[in-house]
Structure 1
Amino acid sequence: MNIPRTRPTPTIPFSPRTLITDRQFTACRQTVLDANPGMSEELAGRILEEALKFVAACSRHKAVGLAPSRVVDEGWHALILHTATYAELCASLGVFVHHFPGFDPTNYDPQILDRTREVIGHLGDEADPELWGPPSDELLVSVAARCQHAPDCTIVITPKPKG
């Protein structure tokens, strides 16, 4: 699949953990844990790492509508709730990745998730297959907002205004 890009992005080794500080990561992971009693710290950390990959992917591939899985969306919401952290993250990536919530539980579009996983791969990382799959009763995650991104509410980045 050819991914249209507004600028070329080389595949380089990429670590989502380097995008925010350990303190910021711990605080955001705790937000995921608070919303999901009984979840392990390890799983909450994986969800947050996938959210960081998602935001980075959105920042690099502005011409492509992307969307997180339902599980990864929980990590994205945790980042957004930490407004200073999220603003710093987006500033470091060069664009502010806006969230456009929409909810329809039937909005599951595997093509959008495939495209998003592919863009993450172009960053030099791999999307966690367990967390980027279809909605499932096996991996129950409470998402703070009623969101299901696809197909009409995919994330499309608008360029930063000049000046």
Structure 2
Amino acid sequence: MTVIQERPATDARTLIGATLRATLASNMQAKFPELSDDQAERGIGQMLAFLAAGAHSDTPLSPSPLVDDFWHAFLLHTQAYQDFCGQMLGKFVHHQPGFLDKAEHGGGKALRARTVDAIVAAGFVIDMEFWPELDLADCSQCHANCHNSPKHA
């Protein structure tokens, strides 16, 4: 008899230290004063989960607009971002805005659903508050059309 024990999903916030999390949360709350401390912390987790899943995906993934804002906040801390990518992801994850062919990738909602599925498959917690587009009708990608595509040079 084989016993399969599922691992509980990992909170991606644990991928960076408390000091960097506090800095990123503070940066986001300065830009978006309506974000509570809890929302800022959870948003950081969703951004880190997106990066970890995207670093090892064979297909393009796309953040929600809010997750993308958290990614932008992290990118501004270039050394910390570079260190995180190298140490935690094994490679640098570039932020590459661009347009993906809807026929090939299924449009924004399908791309976002694939992203959420990839995050779950990578073993991370999903917080649906940060992926609201999945409850909406089919639409285009985020306002900046950002994604992490392994096909992007």
Structure 1: state its 5+ residue gaps. 1-10, 137-145, 159-163
CA distance in 1, matches of 2:124, 2:68: 18
Instruction: Indicate the residue corresponding to 1:28 in structure 2.
Output: 24
Aligned length, in residue pairs? 131
CA distance in 2, matches of 1:33, 1:112: 28
RMSD of the TM alignment (CA)?
A: 2.5
Deviations 1:126-155 (A, max 9, x none): 32111112299xxxxxxxxx6233xxxx31
Deviations 1:2-57 (A, max 9, x none): xxxxxxxxx77433122111101111111111111232111111111100001001
Instruction: Indicate the residue corresponding to 1:119 in structure 2.
Output: 118
Instruction: Indicate the residue corresponding to 1:80 in structure 2.
Output: 75
Instruction: Indicate the residue corresponding to 2:15 in structure 1.
Output: 19
CA distance in 1, matches of 2:32, 2:62: 22
Which of 93, 96, 99 pairs up with 2:95?
Answer: 99
Change (3 A) 1:12 1:37: closer
CA shift, 1:88, in A, is 1.1
Structure 2 matches for 1:1-163, cutoff 5 A? Answer: 13-61=9-57, 63-92=58-87, 93-102=89-98, 109-134=108-133, 147-149=144-146, 154-157=147-150
Which protein shows a greater Rg? 2
CA distance in 2, matches of 1:21, 1:33: 18
CA shift, 1:121, in A, is 0.7
CA distance in 1, matches of 2:109, 2:75: 24
Percent identity over the alignment?
32
Q: What amino acid sits opposite 1:86 in the alignment? A: Y
Change (3 A) 1:82 1:109: same
CA distance in 1, matches of 2:41, 2:93: 21
Change (3 A) 1:133 1:120: same
CA distance in 2, matches of 1:54, 1:126: 10
The structure richer in helix per residue is: 2
Instruction: Indicate the residue corresponding to 1:142 in structure 2.
Output: none
CA distance in 2, matches of 1:12, 1:94: 23
CA distance in 2, matches of 1:12, 1:37: 32
CA distance in 2, matches of 1:157, 1:80: 19
